[in-house]
Structure 1
Amino acid sequence: MKTEDGNEATQAILESATRIASAEGLAGITVRGVASAAKVAPSAVIYYFQTVGGLLSAVHRHVAGMLETWRERTLQALDDPSTRLLSAEALSVAALSSLIAEQGLQVILQQDLHRAAMRKTVTLADPPMAAIRARERFWQRLLECHRLSPEQVRVRAMVAEGLLPFVLLDRVHLRQTALIAAVMRRLELRLSRRPVDAVRADPVLVREARAPEMPRGKRLLVEAAIRVIGQEGLSQLTHRKVAAEAGLSLASTTYFYASKDALIDDAFFQMQHVAVNSVISADRPRNQFLSSILLDEAGEERWEMAAMTELNRAAIRSARHDGLARTLRQVRGVDGMRWLRAHGHATADHLDGILWSAATTVLGEEALCLPPSERRAFLDQETVRILEALFGAECAT
């Protein structure tokens, strides 16, 4: 990127690109679209950033700076003697609520850029792990007055950061804040080994999801849709692409699925079964829970899990997917609850499942920053540590 002159133009381009990518995802970035939003000629975007990839790399640095500015401003605001009256739980709720309200979409954008870098579709100047370490330092500084152990700070940070994409599925601020408070209260009780009052779950949420029964052609289309979503993102899903991926005619695709939304719904429930239910019901050691769900035999992320992440992002960003967002909010944590109950923690409820899901979301993010050959061992080791920290040694062994 050239920055010797034209600073106003480069800043306008960066800010416009960041707004578009935050709202629409990486697929929303085009040279012409960014130029129009920044009120510059398309040639200016090419002159200063050369390519869309160069622009996205600059956006990554810009977003990292925005998040660091937020962190410093937050810590300065809490640099007051009265802050010592606040518990670690209260500070965590306040910080996460503020982060979601002010920078939630930028956090999601940063994670999307990291995933693109891991797929080698974008080259970033700073590795994804640098962002993970930056946010760890923030939580350490936020909670340092409470003299917590490094393990306790790490677990709190993981739950908070992992909770963010789940909370953003709800557009009602009041419910967002209430959920954050409930999860952080449960986290505090679990870490301190104090008794909890189980949350009553709707029975429809706790039953085992079943693989949808469907004709062969329909099943091939659903499996093809999962691959397209996982590889290219939900925005790239079209009837024509799904037909080509499935090796079927376009007419067959539109016969089974007149709308993309119906196809997305079936794809979601198929992923839920393949990626999670088969692992929960399988006879595997407890420490292999997360690695079995997240990774294939080569240590790469399973397409089903990549597609689940893409669906979550789409539901966050667009009201068109509010139905999907409601479904994701309902099922989030249910599989974790079922797994915890099946593996030694009989009192686990839906709130515990959300707690466990949030922590393992961050574990998965960290693992994907490592070389594929190191991911499984990392996940198996860290799964035990987090299980023990949250639910005790009897659940981790």
Structure 2
Amino acid sequence: MVTRQEQLLDAAIELIGSQGIRSLTHRGVDAEAGIPAGSTSNYYRTRDALLEAIVARFAERERLSWEAIAGVVQPSSPKELAAALEHFVRDATGPSRALTLTRQLLFAEAAQRPSLQPVLASNAKAIRAWGAQWLKAVGSAHPERDCQIVLNYLDGLIIHQLAFPETPFSPARPLLGLLKALIAS
């Protein structure tokens, strides 16, 4: 069962992803969550406290999402891994668009607020570990290096698709090409 604080933080994540970081106010979160005015400030007295709690909740949700993916995705070829990554990219730029935008905005906020970086960096480390395992399974001789390259490519691909949507959007072929090139090197 979701706690009141999780409900507030999930509403804040949705608010940021749908309206931008400037929309993050205590009243805005109250309205997004559909709860009485003043509720958010009862838990988080300042915007900084609210932002830190949002980052922690976001990181928890992202970790759980990647754990679910890691439990299902067991690629045995570059083609299978490219298909899984394409599915991820399509979800990130489609149904999970608001969550993806929140991720990008929180990363930008962390560039200005170093106190937010440790939680986000810890998640990134876990994601790189899963990615390195997948790359090793499909034949990479340098899975950690290759994983960083793939993740950087995915970030760029996702940001570009969010900002300048292409239709039709078909990232499978470029993803497969990148994976094959990395494995061959």
Output the TM-score relative to the length of structure 1: 0.38
Instruction: Confirm or deny: 8 A CA contact 1:341 1:347 kept in the other structure.
Output: no
Partner of 1:295: 90
Partner of 1:361: 155
Structure 1 equivalent of residue 40 of structure 2:
253
Contact 1:340 1:353 in 2 (8 A): yes
Higher normalized contact order (CA 8 Å, seq sep 6+, divided by chain length):
2
In structure 1, how many angstroms separate the alpha carbons of the residues matched to 2:68 and 2:126? Answer: 14
| 2:97 aligned partner, one-letter code | R
RMSD of equivalent CA atoms: 3.1
**1:298 to 1:311, Cα distance in 2 relative to 1, 3 A:** closer
1:288 partner letter: A
User: Match for 2:109: what amino acid?
Assistant: A
Out of 304, 326, 334, which is 2:99 matched to? 304
Q: Deviations over 1:172-191 (max 9, x none)?
A: xxxxxxxxxxxxxxxxxxxx
Give the conservation status (yes or no) of the 8 Å contact 2:146–2:182: no
Q: Is the 8 A contact 1:227 1:303 kept in 2?
A: yes
2:176 alignment counterpart? 384
Q: CA separation of 1:298/1:358 partners in 2, compared to 1, >3 Å: closer, same or farther?
A: closer
TM-aligned CA deviation for residue 357 of structure 1: 1.2
**Structure label with greater radius of gyration:** 1
Q: Which blocks of at least 5 consecutive residues in structure 1 are unaligned?
A: 1-213
C-alpha distance after superposition, 1:77-134 (max 9, x if no partner): xxxxxxxxxxxxxxxxxxxxxxxxxxxxxxxxxxxxxxxxxxxxxxxxxxxxxxxxxx
Between the aligned partners of 2:61 and 2:40, the Cα distance in structure 1 is 19
Judging changes above 3 Å, is the alpha-carbon distance between structure 1 residues 363 and 238 closer, same or farther for their aligned structure 2 residues?
A: same
- Cα separation, 1, equivalents of 2:92 and 2:150: 24
Helix, strand or coil at the partner of 2:171:
helix
Q: Check 1:218–1:327 CA distance in 2 against 1; reply closer, same or farther (3 A cut).
A: closer
1:30-81 CA deviation, whole Å, 9 max, x = no partner?
Answer: xxxxxxxxxxxxxxxxxxxxxxxxxxxxxxxxxxxxxxxxxxxxxxxxxxxx
Provide the identity percentage.
Answer: 21
Task: Give the TM-score normalised by the residue count of structure 2.
Answer: 0.74
CA contact (8 A) 1:275 1:304 kept: no
Of 341, 344, 351, which aligns to 2:133? 341
Give 2:52's aligned amino acid.
A
Mapping for residues 17-56 of structure 1, pairs under 5 Å:
none
The residue number in structure 1 matching 2:16 is 229
Query: What is the number of equivalent residue pairs in this alignment?
Result: 174
- Tell me if structure 2 keeps the 8 A contact 1:227–1:307: yes
> Does the aligned pair in 1 maintain the 2:26–2:38 contact within 8 Å?
no
One-letter identity of the residue aligned with 1:225: A
Q: Which runs of 5+ in 2 are unaligned?
A: 75-79
Q: Is the 8 A contact 2:59 2:119 kept in 1?
A: no
Query: How far apart in 1 are the matches of 2:22 and 2:90?
Result: 24
